[in-house]
């Protein structure tokens, strides 16, 4: 099985390479840290399974998934991510990926996932599977952001300052700051660029 790894953390890549090399049936044919580098590699090499993170520095994993599915539909795609939010997992699964595993999952679960998607099966880790099942019984699950937080996010995307947002929505700057902190916490982002990318990827704005 020819496996290609995409992650922007070198230590994570090194660990994955070392881990997967212990399986004699797997060959790590290459690694990349960006969507651009991954696309360049795939133009020159044949692979069976692409393992990619969702968060990448030049774009997000969904962009890479879409490009690969369009150009090389025979490649199996496994997303290996730290994100376990139901709205995001569902969004990624809708793109037709073959598997979703969390970075905190075990080595055995990752290897099982690789063999499963190689055979043409859909694989989701136990935690993700449990989350999706629980979500079936909560169809009206609370949205990631409240309506007010969405309003503020739209203004942040327009480069409004806290003072400008406060004046626009007739609330205090302190209230804006509180909402802003909650938005970053809920989306698990820590920079404005990361927040905007996340917001567009998840149809929050």
pLDDT tens-digit map of 65-109: 999 999 999 999 999 998 887 777 887 898 899 999 999 999 999
Residues of the chain with CATH 3.40.50.2300: 2-136
Percent of the chain with pLDDT strictly greater than 90: 63
Q: Is the pLDDT confidence value at 49 over 90?
A: yes
Classified as helix, coil or strand, 47 is coil
The CB density around residue 115, as the number of other CB atoms within 10 Å, is 15
pLDDT score recorded for residue 137:
64
**Each residue of 119-138: pLDDT tens digit?**
999 999 999 998 888 777 65
CA-CA distance, 97 to 117, in Å (whole number)? 9
Tokens representing 109? Answer: 């679960």
pLDDT score recorded for residue 164:
96
CATH hierarchy code of domain 2-136? 3.40.50.2300
pLDDT score recorded for residue 138:
58
CATH hierarchy code of domain 147-201? 1.10.10.10
State the pTM of this model: 0.70
Q: Is the pLDDT confidence value at 140 over 50?
A: no
Residues of the chain with CATH 1.10.10.10: 147-201
C-beta separation of 59 from 72 below 8 A: no
At how many degrees (to 10) do helices 192-201 and 173-187 cross? 60
What rounded mean pLDDT belongs to the chain?
Answer: 90
């Amino acid at each position: 099985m020819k496996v290609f790894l995409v992650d922007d953390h070198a230590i994570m890549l090194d660990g994955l390479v070392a881990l997967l090399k212990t399986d004699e049936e797997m060959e790590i044919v290459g690694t990349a840290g960006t969507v651009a580098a991954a696309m360049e590699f795939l133009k020159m090499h044949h692979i069976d399974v692409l393992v990619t993170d969702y968060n990448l520095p030049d774009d997000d994993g969904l962009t890479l998934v879409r490009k690969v599915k369009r150009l090389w539909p025979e490649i199996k795609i496994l997303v290996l991510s730290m994100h376990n939010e139901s709205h995001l997992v569902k969004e990624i699964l809708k793109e037709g990926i073959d598997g979703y595993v969390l970075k905190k999952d075990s080595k055995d679960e990752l290897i099982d996932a690789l063999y499963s998607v190689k055979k043409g099966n859909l694989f989701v880790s136990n935690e993700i599977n449990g989350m999706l099942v629980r979500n079936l019984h909560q169809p009206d699950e609370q949205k990631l952001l409240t309506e007010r937080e969405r309003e503020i996010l739209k203004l942040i995307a327009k480069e409004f300052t806290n003072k400008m947002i406060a004046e626009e929505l007739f609330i205090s700057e302190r209230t804006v700051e509180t909402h802003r902190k909650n938005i970053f916490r809920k989306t698990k982002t820590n920079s404005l660029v990361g927040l905007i990318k996340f917001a567009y990827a998840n149809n929050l704005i």
